[in-house]
Every structure is written in C-alpha cells, then in structure tokens.
Amino acid sequence: MDLEHALAGLDGHPWQDSSHAYGGAEDLPALLRDLAGADEGASDEALEELYGSLLHQGTVYTASAEAVPFLVRIAAAGHRTADLLALLAGMAGSTDEHGVAPGALRSAVAGQLPLLLPLLGAPAAEVRGRAAWALSSTGATGPVLPALRTRWARETDPRTRAELLAAMSRLDARSAAAAAGPVLGPAHPAELRLAAVFAALHAGVDWTHEHHTTLLAVLPTAPLVAGSRGLTGRQSLADAVEVLLGRGDEAHREAAFALLDAALRDPRADVRAEAVRAAARACALSRSAARLVPALAAAAVDDAAVAAVAPLLGLLGAAAEPAAPVLAALAGRHPEEEDDLADRVLAALVRIDPGLAAPLLARALGHRPRALGAAAGLLSAPDPAFPYDPALLDAVRRRFARPESVDGREAWQLANLLAGWGPRAAGALPEVMTALRRHQRQTAPAVAALAARLPPAERARAAGALRTAAAQDEALSVAGALYELTGDAEVLLERIARQLAGDHHEVMRAAEAAGGLGPLASPLVPLLRAALSDPGAAPVLPALDADRALAEALWHIGGDAVTAVAALDRVLAHCAAEPWGCWSAIRAARAAAAIGPAARSLAPRLEALLGEPERVPAAARALAAVARPGTPARSTLAGAVLDSVGRGADPLEVCDALEALGGAALTPAQRDRLAVLAEGDARVAGPGMEQRGVQDDERLRARLRTLLAAPA
C-alpha cells in the first residue's frame, strides 16, 4: 500500500462531526498529511499532536476512532510503522472513553486486522513487537491468538519473543503460562524469562520455587524492559509483589515477602534499589509489611542506601523503630549547614523515633526544613503533637529571638510546634512575641496558646501584643488569636465583616470563622445573607463553596434553616452531575448532616449523590441525620458505604458514616465485611493517603474495631 492510497478519502471525511481533546477535529487532515510527509520535523510534530488530541492522557474520543483507518493505512505503507502501532495499541487499550461507546476504539482497530496481522512478519523486530502489542489490545482473540502463536514458534529475537508472550498472555493467560513454562530456565535470555514469570503471575498459577529463583536471577528488571516495544503490562519486582499480595492468601503473601527479603539483601546495589521501590509498594498494600524492617535496615549499606530506605521507614512510623540507629548517623551529620540528604533522613527519623530525632533536630534547627515540617506540620498543629523536648524548645526560642532569620514557612512550623506543647512551652512566649512583630499571622495563634494559662499580667501583655499585631495584619488568624485569648470578638467580627465583601475564597473563610463564633456573630447575619450568590447567577465552584460556608454559618449562628437549606439545595443541584464538584458536594452533604432534620427537604439531592463512590459516605451520613421517612433503610445505606471502600471514598469518612448510621444498621454480612476491613492484611487506601497511608490506615483500623465492638 502506498501513502497516496493511505490518505484516500481524507478530505471528504466529515471531520466536523467528530471531536478530540481540543475540540473539533477539522485539524486532523493537515496533521495526518504532515505525519505521512517527507519532512521529518513536521512528521515528528504531527505525531506528538496526534498523541495529544487522540490519546490525551489516555483518553480517547470520537475523532480517535475516525482516525484509525488512516493511521493503520499509513503504518501498513511502511511509514512510521512502529510509532503508529504504539499509538494504535494505546487507543485500543484505553478504557477512558469520552463521547464514544465503550469498546469503540478497540473495535475500530480490530476492524483493520487484515492490514495489521501481516505486520507480525515485518523485517524489523521493533515492528513485530509493537504489532503484537497493538493486535492483543484489540481483544480479538479468535483471529489474533493463532497468529501470535505462529509468530511465537518462528521468532528468534529475544525481546520480540518476550513481547509475543506478553501479548498472548493478554488474550489467553492460561495458555500463555503453559507456553512460558519451558523458557523459565537459565538457558534462555533474561527478558524472555522475565516475561515467562509474569505470564505465570497473570494466569494465577501457583507460585513456585522456580518462579522465585527465576525472578531473583533476572533482577534488576529495568534494563530488560527499558525502551520496551510493547510489553503488555508492567514487569518489575514491585509489580510481581503487587500481584502476589493481591491474591489475598497467606502462601502468596509469604512468597511476596520472601522475594523482597532476598532482593533487599542482594549484594548488587541496583537490585537493592529496585527492592526498596518494591517494598514501598508492599507497604502501601499490606499491613504485614513492617516485617521488612530488618531487611530494609540490612539494605542501608552506605549513605545513599540509607537515604533511599529512610522515607519508606518513615512511612512505617514507630513500627520501624528497630531500624532507627541505622538512620541516626546520617541524620545527625553537618548540623551547622544545609544538608538535604541529612534533612530527608532526619525527617524519617522524626516519624520513627521522635526521642532520638529531637536532639538532632535541635542542633540543626534552621538547616533542616523537611525534618521541621515532619515534626511540626506546615499550616496546622501536628496530630499528634511532637513529643516535648527541652533542647528543642531552647532551639526554637533561639530561632524566634532572631525573627529576621526566619521565613514565613518556618515561622508557621515553629509556632505549631510550640502550640502542640501547650503550657510546657510557655517559657518561649517572650521570643514568640518578638517574632510576632514580623510574622503576625504565623505566630499569633501560638501567642494565644502559650499565654492562655499564664498569670493575668502576662496574659494582658500578650493580649496587647496581639492587638498591635491585629492593627498591622488583617488576617483572620490574628484577630482569631486575640479572641481566643481574651474572649473579645470585636476585632474578629470587624475583620469578618470586611472579608465578606471580598472574593469567593475570602467569603468562604470569613463565613467559616463566623460560624465558629456561633451566636456571638449575630450582628453579621445580614452581611452573611447578602453574600450569598444570586440564584440566577452562573454557578462556579468557588461561589458554591462560599455559599456552602455561608449556609453553615447562618445555621450555627441563628438556626436559620430556611436560608441555609435553600443555599445548600442550590449547591447540591449544581454539583450533583459535575465531576469537578465532587468535594464541593461532599462538603455540602456534611453541612446538611450538621443541620439534621431541619434539612430533610435535601434528601432527594443527597440520594442523588449515592451514585458516585467518592460522595457516598458523606451522603449516607447526611441522610441518616435528616432521616426523611421513606429514604433508604440504614442497612441499605451501610451497604452503599461499604461498597465505596477502595473506589475513591475517603476511608476515614467511611467510618464517620458508619458511626452515624450506628452498629444496629449493620447486617451480619456487613459486620463480616467490616471485620475483613479491620483485621485483614490489605491496607485500605484513600485519596490523599499516599504520604501518610500507613498511619491513616492504622487510625482507620482502630475506628473500625470500635465500630465492631458496638452493640449490634
């Protein structure tokens, strides 16, 4: 096939009727011509543009399907064949389909099999491998699998054989595993042996000693899959561990940890590095992963290795305490200078053994921002507070005594550290008041916290300093600190009133502050009502979030359910079908739960949220609170909440919902599911848990156990 025939019909195609990631597809004829042209630079640019528009971050569109015949014909003509096969494989394998029927791209590529199948015999091994990838992505087992097997029997290139085996595994895992058995042995090339191990894994066959020794023998995997021409699926030690742990039984869990233990103790640095990455995957998946601590400590053979294992040990927290001495030497080096490696390791040590970390942080304070962040948090007090340490208190005092050397971020963190210590840090009040002159909004809450239990004269001096700071900085945090210390809300009310005239973000923060004051904020009620969006205005998420906060404030201040519920109704109506409105809808549902039965009319809006797993816990909790007759039974809501676990819902919000529904709402089968979540080996992950997943999962377990202990 020549290129002229490949582009036949290009101009007469109704591109205006289809679209891609950037809108209408009228630009595709020019891009396809450039792609097929002789100008190499223009062809490269066109390929990049086609990836961005037809397979944008993995999403496919109507124009993607319309372009398939042209892309296949260009590839079959021998022009950029390998590149286009990779694009076609990605499109056929996509499940993120926008505006097209499910499987439309897979069908479109499968419709071109007469042109694609011959490419399995192309002279270039790169083309053969990518053809296997693209063909297996169609899912057309009947015509494709025999062709792959025929090519497998003839193929001599090791990398292409590996790709063929992976492609066969995608279409028929069991038969691919049978074909893989004979090539596990050491006489075969490493990339083929690796593919054989994964063929067995994907087929679900029992893991054997031969699989174990083969995978360890071919490590590291990166050189074997680098520049892969289409290996279907990931093939690393971490991926093998994930598959084994995912089987959920003790034998395969033991197999996963045996692999990790051996790889972490391997004499080769590149193998240990891959093992550390795989151990991180195991820690995210398994509650048994703390058993890896000795092997992780053994892998820390030099400074670079210590730095590599430290973040993972830090995620394990106190469970990694036996490895703390391994980190201490590097964590404590060069205390008088910036040292990013030492900072990273000390940040991990803070989470593992605070008692060992505190004096090291004290000696290096001002030079260890990551470690200070781990100890003190960024914008809020740590939870739980970092253990009190006199040497660290003295170091904080020295930093605050020279406020010009402290930036705003560090001021937040130092102040949070002191606030977490409470009265024990009261001796630092003079230095914090010195820093208050330069860093008002960062240190004001700490001034209030430290002065709260001091004698009246000292509290009065602190209050005077806060009044001065409030005159210099209009931030709500400064006025709020003055109110917390003195109970005088005048300045805070004035600041809230002013901020209610600001942008949507300012209005939201002001409303939240007003709601926290309760009836004290009654003078602000007219301003709060006036700040609500015009019902006829076009909804934007910042305005909806502000309306939600205003509704909550009106309820908490004066019990104005009518206005609050009407505002929440608008928020929920606009967010229900809007993907970007997920968290706005969740916050509105929480507000409805706080209002309770007075928000009963919102029940239909809340029920509409039950179709999205992320929104289910908040919606179920709110429905339990408003308790409209005829709404779903509590056991039905509990089932929906349990179904949302692992599908994007926040696990801790799942606990909130189940606690609101009550233990009596759980059926025996649901209690059994809850027991698995609480006592099973699999970690329960949720959004935002990547950095604190282990700690948050342990908190989740504790709450689930409490739920299970409640009367049925």
C-beta separation of 498 from 513 below 8 A: no
The pLDDT of 53-72, averaged and rounded, is 94
Domain extent listing, the chain: 379-488
The pLDDT of 187-193, averaged and rounded, is 95
Q: How far apart are CA 377 and CA 358, in angstroms?
A: 15
Entry pTM: 0.86
pLDDT of residue 577: 67
- Max alpha carbon distance in the chain (Å)? 93
pLDDT band, residue 233 (cuts 50/70/90): low
The pLDDT tens digits of the residues spanning 9-40 come to 888 899 999 999 999 999 999 999 999 998 99
pLDDT of residue 380: 41
Q: How far is CA 669 from CA 253, 632, 681, 709, in A?
A: 26, 18, 19, 15
Q: How far apart are CA 703 and CA 187, in angstroms?
A: 53
In the predicted model, is pLDDT for residue 217 greater than 80?
A: yes
**Residue 316 one-letter amino acid:** L
State both tokens at 130.
């990518």
pLDDT of residue 535: 83
In the predicted model, is pLDDT for residue 347 greater than 80?
A: yes
Under DSSP, is residue 484 helix (H, G, I), strand (E, B) or coil?
helix
The pLDDT tens digits of the residues spanning 639-662 come to 999 999 888 888 888 999 999 988
State both tokens at 426.
């009261």
Q: Which residue pairs from 375-383 have beta carbons closer than 8 angstroms and sit at least 24 positions apart in sequence? A: 375/350, 375/413, 375/417, 376/413, 376/414, 376/416, 376/417, 376/420, 377/413, 377/416, 378/409, 378/412, 378/413, 378/416, 379/412, 379/416, 380/416, 381/416, 381/419, 381/420, 382/416, 382/417, 382/420
Of 250, 275, 249, the C-alpha closest to 261 is: 275
Sign of CA dihedral 475, 479, 485, 489: negative
State both tokens at 455.
């004698």
The pLDDT tens digits of the residues spanning 368-424 come to 999 999 999 753 444 567 899 999 999 999 999 999 999 999 999 999 999 989 889
State both tokens at 417.
């550290």
The pLDDT tens digits of the residues spanning 410-433 come to 999 999 999 989 889 999 999 999
Q: How many CB atoms lie under 10 A from the CB of residue 355?
A: 10
Q: How far apart are CA 704 and CA 675, in angstroms?
A: 8
The DSSP element (H or E) to which 59 belongs, if any, is strand 59-60
State both tokens at 367.
């030079």
In the predicted model, is pLDDT for residue 7 greater than 90?
A: no
The pLDDT tens digits of the residues spanning 453-497 come to 999 999 999 999 999 999 999 999 999 999 999 999 999 999 999
C-beta separation of 441 from 476 below 8 A: no
Percent of the chain with pLDDT over 90: 82
pLDDT band, residue 539 (cuts 50/70/90): confident
pLDDT of residue 225: 85
Whose tokens are 């022009």? That residue is 79
φ, ψ dihedrals at 20, nearest 5°:
-130, -160
Q: How far apart are CA 556 and CA 517, in angstroms?
A: 8
Q: Is 162 exposed, middle or buried (0-12, 13-18, 19+ CB in 10 A)?
A: buried
pLDDT band, residue 693 (cuts 50/70/90): low
The pLDDT of 363-370, averaged and rounded, is 96
pLDDT band, residue 689 (cuts 50/70/90): very low
Of 294, 332, 338, the C-alpha closest to 313 is: 294
Q: How many CB atoms lie under 10 A from the CB of residue 690?
A: 10
Q: How many CB atoms lie under 10 A from the CB of residue 512?
A: 18
The pLDDT tens digits of the residues spanning 587-626 come to 999 999 999 999 999 999 999 999 899 999 999 999 999 9
Q: How far apart are CA 618 and CA 603, in angstroms?
A: 12
Q: Is 369 exposed, middle or buried (0-12, 13-18, 19+ CB in 10 A)?
A: middle
